[in-house]
Amino acid sequence: MGLKLLLSTLVLTGSIGMLSAKDKDSTAFTVKEKYQLRRGDFAVKSADYESALTIYLELYTNHKDDAQINASLAKAYFESNNLLDAEYHFTRVTEINKDVDAYFYMDYGHYLLSKGEYEKALTQFENFKKKEPKTKDLKFSQVENYILQCKGAIANKENIKVQVKALSNTVNSEYTDAAPGITADGKTLIFNSRRPVNKGGQMAPDGQFFEDVYIATWNEKTNNWNEAVPVEGVVNTNEHDAATSISADGQQMLVYQNILGVTKSGDIYLSNKGSNGRWGRAKAFEEINSGFFESSACFSADGKKVFFISERKKGLGNGDIYFSEKVDGKWSKPKNIGDVVNTPEDEVGLFLHPDGKTLFFASKGHFEQNYGGYDIFKTVLGEDGVWSKPQNLGSPVNTYRDERHFVLNTEGDRGYFTAQRQVGRTDLDIYEVDFSKYNPMTGETLAETQFTILKGLISDSKTGSKLTGQLIVTDLETNEVSMMEVDEEGEFFMTLPGNKKYNLAVIKEGYNAFRQEFFLPVGNDSETITFENDILLESEREIEVIDKRLFSVQIVRFDKASAKAEFSKEVKTELDLFVEQLKKAPSYFVELSGYTDNTGSVSGNKKLSKQRASMVATYFKDHGIDSSRIVIVGHGPEKAIADNSTEEGRAQNRRVEIKLFEK
C-alpha cells in the first residue's frame, strides 16, 4: 500500500483494523453499546455506510474478537468498495469461528463472487441455506439464483477462442469512454465520453463530467481508429448526452437525454445527419417514450423496427426490452419482447445485427449462464416469430465484472463492448473482440488455435516506477507482429496463440532496449491460461533510490475548511523523504496535483486545489528544491476517487497527489 500523507487534522493511516493474534477476547456489550450497534445496523440498511463504519469502528475498539462486529465491518467496507478492509474482516469472522447472523454468509458470498471466486462463493451461499432461514428470507436473498450462478460459472470455465483488448488511446481516455455504436460498413464508431472538455464544462453529482457523444473513423493506412472528436453539430448539450446507437447507414443516431424540467427520468431522442455532415438537434422519440426511464435503443438495419429499454409499468423486471414496428409510416404501440428474454433483473445495451434477427444485449439475470454483474447475451428470432432462449457470449468476453453495450460488425469478425479490466481504475473503456477464430453468430470455432493470455507490468528496475512504452511481440514462426502502447499504469494484456515461441521487445526513451525470447505455453483441455511476465527496464541514468515507495503516487489529504492548516510532524517526515530523494536524483521533477470535493463552484475549487498543491510546493522550495523542478496543477473536483455524495467520500477527494517523474 502506498504512503498516505495527511494534514494535522487527520492521521497517517493504512488499512484499518489489522489485528495480531494476541488480541484479547471481547467483553460483553453494554446496554449503550447494544444501542450503538442497532444504530450502525440501521445506517447500513439506509445505505449510509460512512456513519455505519464510524459506529462499528468505535465498538470494534473494545470488541476486536467479536464475530458480529467483524461481520458488520466487513459488509460496510464491501458496500463502500473498500475491498482490502472488507477481505480482512470477512476472514477474521471465519478465524473467530463463532456464530454470526445468517446474512453474513450472503455478504461473504457476494464479496467472493465480485472477485470471480465461484467455488468459495458457492460454499458461503450454501452455508446461508444451512442456517435454515425463513421462507421470506430465502426469497429476499435470492440465494438459489446465486447458487445457480456459481454452479453455472464453474461448469462453463472453457473460454471461446477470441482475443480481447482495449482500444488504443485514439478512442479510450483516462475518463469514462463507453457505449460503442458502429455503422454497417465498420468504418464509423460512435461512443460516449465523460472528458473535461465536454460541451457545457459541467460536472454531474457523481464527480464526473456530463457525457458527450464522440465519433472516430477507421484509418485503412494505420489499421487503427483516427483520433476521436466530439460529433459535429448540436447533439451535445450542457447536460447528459449519450448516443445509444447509430443507424446502419450512419445517417441517424438514437440519443439518451435527461433534461431538467423536460424529461421525467430520461428519454430517447433522435438526431439526423445533415448533408453538411453535421448532426441536427435531437428530437424526442415520442412514440416510444413513456415518462418512465427509457434507454439503450437501436434500429434494425432497414429502419423499420426499433428496440429499446424501458422501466415502464407492467414490465417483467427493472429494465425490460421492448420493440416497436413502423407500419404505414407510423410506429406501433411498443410491445414487451417477452419473458424468454427479459428477466426480473436489468437488461441494457441493445444491438440488432444487420441480419435483422440476432439481438445482442446485456443482462444481470439469466443466472444459470451469468458469470457475474452484467453479461452479454444473444437471442435469435425464429421463423415462427419467437425469440430463442438467450445464450451467454462466453468467457473471456464475459467475466465476473460488468460487460455491456456490445456491437458487432456486419462480417461478424470484430466486436466492441464496454468494460473495465485495468486494476485500480474505475472509469470505463471500450474493448475490441477479434472473432476471426470464432463465429459469435453460430457459436462455431473456426480454428483449433489455443490461446494464452500474456500479461505483466513494466517498471523501472531501480525505482519500481510504472512505465509507459511500446510493447512489440513477434511470432518467431510466422513473423506476425502484435504491438500495443502501454499506458501510465505500466500494465499490458494480450491474448496470443499459445504453444509458440515469441520475441518480446520494449521501447522506452531513456531506457536501455529490452529484448526477450520466450515460449508461451497453453493450458490443459483447451483451457485458456494466463502467462505472467513482468519486465524491469534499466534506466540510462544513474540514480540513488532512498525508498521505492516515493516513485509511486503519494497522497496528502486536506480538511474541508481551507488550505491553511499546518503540516503535522508525520507529514513533514514523509515530505522530507521526497526532498532528500529529489536532491539525490537531479534528473527528476515533481508534479503536485491538487483536487477538491464537489462542494462549491468549479472555478472556486480550481483555485483552492491549486492553493493546496502550492502549500506542498512551498515546503519543497523552503527545503532547497528549485521551483523549476516543481509542477503545480489544480484540477478542482475532477477525477474524483470516491463518491462525493458522502462526507467520507468528499474527504478522500480533498487531496494533493505527489508524483516524481523524468522529462
Does residue 26 have a pLDDT over 60? no
Q: Where are the beta strands (DSSP E) in 175-293?
A: 177-182, 188-193, 212-219, 224-225, 229-230, 241-246, 252-257, 267-272, 283-284
Q: Which of 79-83, 143-147, 518-522 has the lowest mean pLDDT?
A: 79-83
Q: Which of 295-309, 350-364, 552-566 has the lowest mean pLDDT?
A: 552-566
Instruction: Give the 3-state secondary structure of 546-601.
Output: CCHHHHCCEEEECCCCCCCCCCCHHHHHHHHHHHHHHHHCCCEEEEEEEECCCCCC
Q: Which of 3-12, 311-320, 362-371, 642-651 has the lowest mean pLDDT?
A: 3-12
pLDDT computed for residue 84 by the predictor: 86
Q: How confident is the model at residue 564 (pLDDT cuts 50, 70, 90)?
A: low
Does residue 159 have a pLDDT over 50? yes
Q: Which of 63-72, 171-180, 202-211, 488-497 has the lowest mean pLDDT?
A: 202-211
Tens digits of residue pLDDT in 186-208: 899 999 999 988 787 777 777 78
Tens digits of residue pLDDT in 207-244: 788 889 999 999 988 889 999 999 998 888 887 889 99
Q: How confident is the model at residue 433 (pLDDT cuts 50, 70, 90)?
A: very high
Q: How confident is the model at residue 266 (pLDDT cuts 50, 70, 90)?
A: confident
Does residue 518 have a pLDDT over 90? yes
pLDDT computed for residue 347 by the predictor: 94
Which residue would you say has higher pLDDT here, 243 or 549?
Answer: 243
All domains in the chain, ordered by first residue: 25-155 (1.25.40.10), 163-445 (2.120.10.30), 451-537 (2.60.40.1120), 548-662 (3.30.1330.60)
Q: Where are the beta strands (DSSP E) in 281-373?
A: 283-284, 294-299, 305-310, 320-327, 330-331, 335-336, 347-352, 358-363
pLDDT computed for residue 526 by the predictor: 65
Closest Cα partner for 405 from 439, 442, 379, 375?
375
Whole-prediction pTM: 0.62
pLDDT computed for residue 629 by the predictor: 93
Does residue 305 have a pLDDT over 60? yes
Which range in 128-132, 229-233, 259-263, 636-640 is most confidently predicted, on average pLDDT? 229-233
Per-position DSSP letters for 11-70, written without gaps between them: ----STT---TTPPPPPPPPHHHHHHHHHHHHHHHTT-HHHHHHHHHHHHTT-TT-HHHH
Tens digits of residue pLDDT in 608-654: 999 989 999 999 999 999 999 999 999 998 888 888 888 888 888 88
Tens digits of residue pLDDT in 355-380: 889 999 999 999 999 998 899 999 99
pLDDT computed for residue 563 by the predictor: 53
Q: How confident is the model at residue 8 (pLDDT cuts 50, 70, 90)?
A: very low
